[in-house]
Amino acid sequence: MIEPLVLKGFRDSLPYEEIPKKKIQRKLEDVFETFGFVPIDTPVLEYENVLLGKGGGETDKQIFHFEDNGGRKVAMRFDLTVPFARFLALHHDELAIPFKRYHIAKAFRGENPQKGRYREFIQCDFDIVGCDNAQSDFEVLSLMHASFSAMGIGNVCFHVAHRGLFNDFLSSIGVGEKSIDILRCVDKLRKIGRDEVGKILVDITGDEQKSSRILDYITCGDGRPFKETLDIISSIIGSETESLARMRQIYALLDGVGIADKFIYDASITRGLDYYTGIVYETFLTDIESIGSVCSGGRYNNLASLYTKENLPGVGASIGLDRLMAALIELKSPLVSDTANADILILPKPDETLKASDTAFRLRGMGIRTDVYLLPEKKMKAQYDYAEKNRIRRSLVFGTDGYVVKNLETRQSVTVAGLEEVAALCR
Amino acid sequence: MIEPLVLKGFRDSLPYEEIPKKKIQRKLEDVFETFGFVPIDTPVLEYENVLLGKGGGETDKQIFHFEDNGGRKVAMRFDLTVPFARFLALHHDELAIPFKRYHIAKAFRGENPQKGRYREFIQCDFDIVGCDNAQSDFEVLSLMHASFSAMGIGNVCFHVAHRGLFNDFLSSIGVGEKSIDILRCVDKLRKIGRDEVGKILVDITGDEQKSSRILDYITCGDGRPFKETLDIISSIIGSETESLARMRQIYALLDGVGIADKFIYDASITRGLDYYTGIVYETFLTDIESIGSVCSGGRYNNLASLYTKENLPGVGASIGLDRLMAALIELKSPLVSDTANADILILPKPDETLKASDTAFRLRGMGIRTDVYLLPEKKMKAQYDYAEKNRIRRSLVFGTDGYVVKNLETRQSVTVAGLEEVAALCR
């Protein structure tokens, strides 16, 4: 006998988890499609040097990599961004540019498992490639907003900033050349707090006053409406830079469709990654901010440069579905709490199997999710246990005067003559 | 610069492929859910010995396997059946039995790529575990039927047989002990033809007469209705065996819901795999039979026995989505031919971006898939090229008297005053 073990850091998804996961995925796909975004897929396995973007040397320990039976060095994708860059380089001639794609798929990392972190996880990325303008920045922000609305999450706040604007500010106080170190340090504000960030900034700039001016800058949006923060930044920097103009355009578009109140300019958002060049953003659920950002991204202006000379500017975002699921469970969202496998369960007597299959056939034809209990010789208790485990709310038995539909929560029964009426009770 | 190569036997899925793939998947999921089947998922990576069902020895060359950074011997799943058996052994106490699950996911095999075969492919499995009766056999057949109906594939024929009934026949002619070899040989009928099978059967049975009786048996259903074939088999065997009774019950249920005419009893269907013990089936599209079976499966009575002493009989089927996609493309199914990313494309002038984003916002709110061309400064030709590449059928420009909606196929335009009318044109 072999022990049926699952690898450390991996997990099965049981129906009560998989049903809501699929619902969320569908909601997102529906929204993406309403925005004209198209799905793509790429292989789970790729050449190691393609994924790592380099010829050789030591391989990152977090990557699952091996030599296949043909002696090729291969690796499992660790995100959806790198494969997308490779995809763009390979296919840009075949694609409609601007290219608006989404990709919901698994990625793999060998990092040490901790609470809420797994070695196999689902990413949901969406990007617009081929333009660098306020409309495309806005389109992604607008899609983020629509996604959370579609999931019924109203208490959400999108924290937006602009890398270039931060650099404008740093230049204005004379530390522009240290921008990469400063951006990385500021990115840790939520994790390590204002005091720690201040100390590191003193180390970087060698100047306490400059450190405190940076701290003031990154917290200048605190609690303020988006537009007000932009005006404050304008007066801090002392000029209307190109990046500021871009942010004003984006704000105008957000305001134009009436969703600006969900967005704030949060100058502390910098995103750690090097490839961002313009707008950057993170998304927080105001009821459980502690869970961290559930949707992040930004503008990058040369994602595929490792693989092609073609210049492909882009803007995009990524939702961590596992973290989002955890949040929705904590928020008791209806999206994750209803996990019934069916609207109604037919409980036939042993001699009623023909009748049961015919009834199921017709109810399903009306769009009613219908389960038939397949072991009619079992005791009543087993039958109701089955209904409970599947969280089914209604049962149907064949009475002498018609269909007896029982509400399994209230335990009240009602007898109806026709299947149309059964269907109506289920809706 | 790194060459953006994809591994041999792997492939990207471009929007024109991924859009229909998602549509098919959704159709199937909708049907599965109407039948009360629930989704599960399992990890792509598992312990090698768990997937291979053995302690050590040489590893199958078709399996992607390696040692991970923690020194564990791991492998990528090569089907969804073995992980499901492992899943059942690990979780059966938590599941509602009978357990009706579906699983649509990728599997991986290192076999040499050939036409229509890839090293990464999508399987779609559905099973009922925990009962051994005609109702559950019927439920899976009925679900298969409903799945193909939902995909709009009417010209389909389900070829059904019963392993036990074949064994009854073999016993009746005195070659029961050679059943495994004979079943495997008969399974090749479609591939190598009647004459070749006949020769091998002579080798196995050592008896030309018996070989030809087997050939007669496996072709006895040819062109006949299901019930007639059962009667013929009854008279060939000379008794009403238990397996025959089961097939008659299944037939009665199929007939009861009016779908029996899509099923034939085809005694040549045996399925190569050892674990099948009862009913077995394959599915052929009558317009392109040559493509092979697009949905196959059967009853197995001890799938999880490698991992648990719990007795878990089951019945299920598997759809090869890649083969099905290829078939639907050949059949010019509407399910795969409409790959537009949007119902309408807004083409704003450079100074109309606010108006465009507001119009898109409102149309999307009405459920209309709306794309906005994000490079308004580009020439007309680029804009219409974009529409064509995305296969969008309608464009919208802002006219002086209202919205000008153009049908891009007929090139006819109509001006309407309100967005409700635009939406109506798109529906």
Mean pLDDT of A29-33: 97
Nearest to A34 among B37, B131, B364 (CB): B364
AA identity, residue B162: H
Q: Which of A3, A108, A325 is the mutation pick for testing B, counting most B CBs within 10 A?
A: A3
Nearest to B357 among A46, A253, A390 (CB): A253
Place of tokens 């973290």: A323
pLDDT at A413 over 80: yes
Q: What is the mean pLDDT of chain B?
A: 94
Supply A182's token pair.
């400063």
Share of residues in chain A with pLDDT > 70 (%): 97
**Chain B residue numbers touching A38 (CB-CB < 8 A):** 15, 18-19, 341, 390
Name the H helices within A151-186: 163-172, 179-186
**Chain A residue numbers touching B304 (CB-CB < 8 A):** 4
Task: Please compute Rg for chain B using Cα positions.
Answer: 27
pLDDT given for residue B116 in this prediction: 67
pLDDT at A69 over 90: no
Contact B364 A29 (CB under 8 A): no
pLDDT given for residue A236 in this prediction: 95
Q: Is A389 on the interface with B (CB under 8 A)?
A: yes
Q: Is A369 on the interface with B (CB under 8 A)?
A: yes
The residue in chain B having the minimum alpha-carbon distance to the alpha carbon of residue A306 is B1
Residue B346: left if φ>0, alpha if ψ -120 to 50, beta else—which one? beta
Contact B12 A91 (CB under 8 A): yes
User: Model confidence over B294-347: pLDDT tens digits?
Assistant: 999 999 988 899 999 999 999 999 998 988 999 999 999 988 988 999 999 999
pTM as predicted = 0.94
**Chain B residue numbers touching A41 (CB-CB < 8 A):** 12-13, 18, 21
Of the pLDDT bands very low, low, confident and very high (cuts 50, 70, 90), residue A62 is confident
> How far is it, in rounded angstroms, from Cα A194 to Cα A184?
14
> How far is it, in rounded angstroms, from Cα B102 to Cα B41?
9
Q: Is B372 on the interface with A (CB under 8 A)?
A: yes
pLDDT given for residue A53 in this prediction: 81
Give the end-to-end CA distance of chain B in Å, rounded to a whole number: 47
Mean pLDDT of B38-44: 98
**Chain A residue numbers touching B3 (CB-CB < 8 A):** 50, 307
Place of tokens 């019950």: B249
User: Which has the higher per-residue pLDDT, B1 or B127?
Assistant: B127
Name the H helices within A35-162: 48-52, 81-91, 134-150
Half-sphere exposure in the Cβ direction for B216 (13 Å, CA): 13
pLDDT given for residue A55 in this prediction: 53
Contact B370, B344 (CB under 8 A): yes
pLDDT at B54 over 70: no
Nearest to B390 among A10, A96, A142 (CB): A96
Q: Name which of B48, B54, B82 is nearest B66 in CA terms.
A: B48
Give the end-to-end CA distance of chain A in Å, rounded to a whole number: 47
pLDDT at A100 over 90: yes
Q: Is B61 on the interface with A (CB under 8 A)?
A: yes
| Segment holding B195, helix H or strand E | helix B189-205
CA dihedral for A281, A285, A291, A295, sign (positive or negative): negative
**Chain A residue numbers touching B41 (CB-CB < 8 A):** 12-13, 18, 21
Q: Is B25 on the interface with A (CB under 8 A)?
A: no
Name the H helices within B69-159: 81-91, 134-150
Mean pLDDT of B370-380: 96
> How far is it, in rounded angstroms, from Cα B92 to Cα B87?
8
Contact B67 A66 (CB under 8 A): yes
What ipTM was reported for this prediction? 0.94
Nearest to A18 among B39, B72, B91 (CB): B39
pLDDT at B57 over 80: no
Contact B3 A86 (CB under 8 A): no
Q: Is A126 exposed, middle or buried, given 0-12, 13-18 or 19+ CB atoms closer than 10 A?
A: buried
Would you call B63 helix, strand, or coil by DSSP?
A: coil
Sheet holding A370-372, edge to edge: A370-372, A344-346, A394-398, A403-407, A413-416
Angle, in degrees to the nearest 10, between helices B226-237 and B242-256 = 170
| Segment holding B295, helix H or strand E | strand B295-300
The residue in chain B having the minimum alpha-carbon distance to the alpha carbon of residue A67 is B66
Size of interface A-B (CB pairs under 8 A): 308
Q: Is A39 on the interface with B (CB under 8 A)?
A: yes
In sequence order, what are the beta bridge partners of B106? Answer: B122
Mean pLDDT of B17-24: 95
> How far is it, in rounded angstroms, from Cα B393 to Cα A109?
42
Contact A374 B133 (CB under 8 A): yes
The 10 Å CB-count burial string (b at 16+, else e) for B97-123 is bbbbbbbbbbbbbbeeeeeeebbbbbb
**Chain B residue numbers touching A74 (CB-CB < 8 A):** 7
> How far is it, in rounded angstroms, from Cα A392 to Cα A345?
7
pLDDT given for residue B274 in this prediction: 74
Q: Is A325 exposed, middle or buried, given 0-12, 13-18 or 19+ CB atoms closer than 10 A?
A: buried
> How far is it, in rounded angstroms, from Cα A106 to Cα B326?
25
From residue B93, alpha-carbon distances to A389, B88, B102, B103, B125 in Å are 11, 9, 18, 20, 22
Contact A357 B67 (CB under 8 A): no
DSSP 8-state secondary structure symbol assigned to residue B117: B
The residue in chain A having the minimum alpha-carbon distance to the alpha carbon of residue B371 is A36
- Nearest-Cα distance to chain B for A126, in Å, is 13
Longest dimension (CA), chain A: 89
Contact A106 B361 (CB under 8 A): no
- Nearest-Cα distance to chain A for B219, in Å, is 30
Of the pLDDT bands very low, low, confident and very high (cuts 50, 70, 90), residue A303 is confident
Q: Is B353 on the interface with A (CB under 8 A)?
A: yes
Give every CB contact of residue B171 below 8 A, 6+ residues apart in sequence. Answer: none
pLDDT given for residue B275 in this prediction: 81
Would you call B8 helix, strand, or coil by DSSP?
A: coil
Of the pLDDT bands very low, low, confident and very high (cuts 50, 70, 90), residue B55 is low
AA identity, residue A183: L
- Nearest-Cα distance to chain B for A214, in Å, is 34
Would you call B119 helix, strand, or coil by DSSP?
A: coil
Would you call B108 helix, strand, or coil by DSSP?
A: strand
Q: What's the length of chain B?
A: 427
Would you call A101 helix, strand, or coil by DSSP?
A: strand
Q: Name which of A213, A11, A209 is nearest A117 in CA terms.
A: A11
Nearest to A5 among B47, B356, B357 (CB): B47
**Chain A residue numbers touching B50 (CB-CB < 8 A):** 2-5
